[in-house]
Amino acid sequence: MISLNITGHTVEKLVDPFGLLSGDRYEFFLELEIDEEDELFSDKGIGMKVLLVVDEKGSRISHYHLYERGTEKILDFALEEDEELLVFDYCKENIDT
C-alpha cells in the first residue's frame, strides 16, 4: 500500500480539436509526498499523472501513472481501491471550471 499525501497539483483542461470525444477531459499532475520507508520513495520526488473524464455518465479516472519527478521515469505501481478513490476525490474537487 502506498501512503499517499498529495501536496500540490497542476491541472489543464484538454481540448478535443475534432470534437470526437464526449464530455470534458482534465489532465492532472499531482505532487506526492511519499514516506522514506516506502518502496516507492525517491529523493527526486514522485508525481502522478491523472486523466479525469467528466461526461454524461459522470466523472471517472480514465488513466493514471506514477513517475519519478525529474527523470519522468514511469513507475510500475498500481493504487489500491481506497487510494484511487482519494485521488479521484482530490481531482474532482480541484477541476478548473
Q: According to the model, what pLDDT value does residue 2 have?
A: 58
pLDDT of residue 17: 83
Task: Tell me the pTM.
Answer: 0.89
First to last CA, the chain: 32
Domains held by the chain: number: 1
User: For 46-70, how does the pLDDT look when each residue is reduced to its tens digit (9 = 90+)?
Assistant: 999 999 999 999 999 999 999 999 9
Residue 70: which domain range?
A: 5-93
